Structure 1
Amino acid sequence: MEDVLERWRSEKTSSFLSDAVAANEPDPKRAKLFGKMAEAAEAQAAIIAKDLK
């Protein structure tokens, strides 16, 4: 269970950090890329969350 929780935390952290970079990136193409990375990490966290009880 701890492994699943750590994976979830890792994805949530990745999502948060990627979103922060996207919000502060002056290059629109790079900002969009980091935004997509944040979305992907959030989606992965949602999948992992199903294994948490």
Structure 2
Amino acid sequence: MLHYAIVFFVIALIAALFGFGGIAAGAVGIAKILFFVFIILAIASFLFGSMKGR
């Protein structure tokens, strides 16, 4: 999932470089959502993994 967030961020950078503001804004929005979902899932996985070991 982090890979997709990075891919959309790169797409946003390239789109912004060529002046496609709407596409860049959409790609940044998608990248932000995927990044936060990744962070939430990583924290949940870490917490449940440490609880399972007990």
Bin the TM-score by the shorter chain. Answer: 0.7 to 0.9
TM-score where L is the length of structure 1: 0.74
| Structure 1: 5+ residue stretches without partners | 1-10
Percent identity for Structure 1 against Structure 2: 12
Structure 2 gaps of 5+ residues are 50-54
Q: Flag the structure with larger Rg.
A: 2
2:3 corresponds in structure 1 to 13
Where do 4+ consecutive residues of structure 1 move more than 2 Å? none
TM-score (norm 2): 0.73
Question: RMSD value over aligned CA atoms?
Answer: 1.0
